[in-house]
Structure 1
Amino acid sequence: MKVLFSCIFILISIHFYAQEKPTLYLIGDSTMADKKNPEENPEHGWGQMLPELMTNKITIENHAVNGRSTKSFLNEGRWKTIYDQLKPGDFVIIQFGHNDQKINSPDRYTNPFTAYRYNLEKFVNQTREKGATPILMSSIVRRNFNKFGTFVDTHGSYPLVVRMLGKELDVPFIDMQWLTEQLEEKYGEEDSRNLHLHFAPGEVAYYEKRKDDDTHLSKMGATLVATLALKEIAKKDLDLKKYIKNQTLKKQIL
């Protein structure tokens, strides 16, 4: 009798969740996060652009926060907040690395082959526990050209660890390092400045002083990066694909 009631409960739960709109959760750092005053602030996180590129049949909750690593995101209880409300049919995009490599910040730094890897594994396993779908992403690149005009990545072993973990755990993996490296090289050393935040003193009201930021994204850069991520999700035929607008998929970026 207990088995019968358990089966009935599971069927009712599946039916209930099937009627509820799925949620896409984003966890990561400032390159993904929503920025305040978007009408005035030139800086945009790529996750901030997703509502414009996806349908209203999915709810998007951007929990990415400036300055966070896998370690600080866990220690501050930010992951627990998401875990407690995850339900079957939801999605979690996981993208960290920029701040995990901050070796002079003990509250954020993680060794790529130990703590960073195991923190990512925790996100993946606990997402699956709730019947939701994890999607791993490597970090987007920083704009970094050497004196010869050659693009040079700055993230060391962190993207490699995400690739390896994705394969080991059979998790959907989107190689944003590769996609954004191609984007930077396509625009070239000079024009790629427009993907980021480069402004002379007084050029925009939001910044009083000169701004030279090769890590964070302009609205243009954030839109292009978000589009690349979604097109790759569609290319891999992930379940999240059905929530992407057709016009997004038709855009030619690379």
Structure 2
Amino acid sequence: MRRLIAVAALAGSAMATAQAPVRDFVMAANADHRFDGDHGFEADRHLFSVAVPPGNYAVTVTLGDPARASDNTIKAESRRLMLEAVRTRAGEFVTRRFIVNVRTPALAPPPANAPGGDAVRLKPREIGSFTWDDRLTLEILGPAPALRRVSVAPVEVPTLFLLGDSTVTDQPAEPAASWGQMLPAFLTPTIAVANHAESGETLKSFLTELRLDKVLASARPGDVAMIQFGHNDQKAQWPQTYADAATTYRAYLRTYIAELRRRGVTPILVTSPERRQWGADGHIRPSLGDYPAAVRAVAAEAAVPVIDLNADSISFYEALGKDRAPLAFNDQGRDATHHGNYGAWVLARDVAERMRAIGSLARFVRSDLPPFDPSHPPAPETFRLAASGMRSSERPAGN
């Protein structure tokens, strides 16, 4: 169900030129909710949404207020973090640019008598969500937000596809969060993040639900794909999607790598973040069996870069200690698998840091970010991120 609260209402109109189809919107303070069917936009106090075809879009925003200081956080689609705590003084205005990927479930129908389908097989919770609709949606948040102008234009940039499960996906509602939806805030506006991960997914189900087909149909030479599965693949009690770490799990990873490379896409393997389970010795007790080692082995064998989020997540939890580590997790720590905003933010910051060490990806990481070490995370007690208006007490699938 859609439920967003807003910040500034729309006053201007859309415009486009044949050569540069930029759509420009000027926001007016204290205006009522508005929908314009001709130009396909709507806005209310904390929401801006405009109808666009699938693709990557450069979004340029002007932030500030002539009479007061402002503090702005912007999320796109299903809570993808784009800008974090951008502050202005009274009378100061700043412009920021970021890239938003928009998609629908549609696939080109297969030829007559050929297997396949014409749409991704969405789960019930995904139907009608901001992730899969035909709009570009922004949530404008913060203690004193002040959005003045929004410009939206299609753009040709590389795409970073994320393939994975509930620990990667754009979790649609507070308080759950995943590292994939925090990652855009740490990257430059020269790459789009297309998060195709979904809760409960495995390497097998990602295939059978045509999610890999969607990625491959959208991918172009020069794109990048990060692949992180394991939490659900290890579940022998899910016989249709279980994949043995020594055999089928590795075979499926090789298949994904081959399909991506065939299309000129650079594959990156990511080991799954560990669950928060402590051993008697005061250290995290591994719960993912041989799956992280299998990822590392396939990466070495196929000469694919690997981001070892499993090892880094253990360093992160142990740095916090048993008493404070729950502060990184969903549902006030009662969920030992899925993260809250703080934990997701730290893991995304770690992924961005690991991208710097991969030659082809370093240019996509913001140059103003200081070095990051997961064994020295920021204090959870002082972490603040403006919360979205969408909330749910339901645990992510696959828990």
Listed as ranges, the matches of 1:1-254 within 5 Å are 20-37=156-173, 41-199=174-332, 212-234=334-356, 236-254=357-375
Higher relative contact order (CA 8 A, sep 6+): 1
Please say if residues 227 and 248 of structure 1, whose CA atoms lie closer than 8 Å, have aligned partners that are also in contact: no
| Alpha-carbon separation, structure 2, partners of 1:162 and 1:253 | 20
Aligned amino acid, residue 274 of structure 2: V
CA drift of 1:155 comes to 0.4
| Alpha-carbon separation, structure 2, partners of 1:81 and 1:249 | 35
TM-score for both structures, normalised by structure 1: 0.83
| Alpha-carbon separation, structure 2, partners of 1:216 and 1:145 | 16
Please say if residues 313 and 374 of structure 2, whose CA atoms lie closer than 8 Å, have aligned partners that are also in contact: no
Aligned amino acid, residue 200 of structure 2: G
Higher helix proportion, which one? Answer: 1
CA drift of 1:50 comes to 1.1
| Alpha-carbon separation, structure 1, partners of 2:372 and 2:230 | 28
Aligned amino acid, residue 221 of structure 1: G
CA pair 29-249 structure 1, distance change in 2 beyond 3 A? farther
1:171-221 alpha-carbon deviations (Å, 9 max, x no partner): 01111111111111111111111111243xxxxxxxxxxx61010011000
| Alpha-carbon separation, structure 2, partners of 1:95 and 1:249 | 26
| Alpha-carbon separation, structure 2, partners of 1:244 and 1:219 | 20
Report the secondary structure of 2:249's partner residue. helix
CA drift of 1:247 comes to 3.2
Aligned amino acid, residue 138 of structure 1: T
Report the secondary structure of 2:334's partner residue. strand
Show the counterpart of 2:36: none
CA pair 183-172 structure 1, distance change in 2 beyond 3 A? same
CA drift of 1:80 comes to 0.9
| Alpha-carbon separation, structure 1, partners of 2:368 and 2:277 | 31
CA pair 151-59 structure 1, distance change in 2 beyond 3 A? same
Q: How many residues align?
A: 221
TM-score for both structures, normalised by structure 2: 0.54
CA pair 169-190 structure 1, distance change in 2 beyond 3 A? same
CA drift of 1:246 comes to 2.1
Report the secondary structure of 2:163's partner residue. strand
CA pair 249-24 structure 1, distance change in 2 beyond 3 A? farther
1:24-59 alpha-carbon deviations (Å, 9 max, x no partner): 00000000000113xxx1110100001111111111
Aligned amino acid, residue 21 of structure 1: V
Cα RMSD after superposing both structures: 1.5
Report the secondary structure of 1:231's partner residue. helix
Moved runs in structure 1, 4+ residues, more than 6 A? none
CA drift of 1:84 comes to 1.6
Structure 1, unpaired ranges of 5+: 1-18, 200-210
Please say if residues 231 and 249 of structure 1, whose CA atoms lie closer than 8 Å, have aligned partners that are also in contact: no
CA pair 252-171 structure 1, distance change in 2 beyond 3 A? closer
| Alpha-carbon separation, structure 1, partners of 2:196 and 2:295 | 20
CA drift of 1:148 comes to 3.9
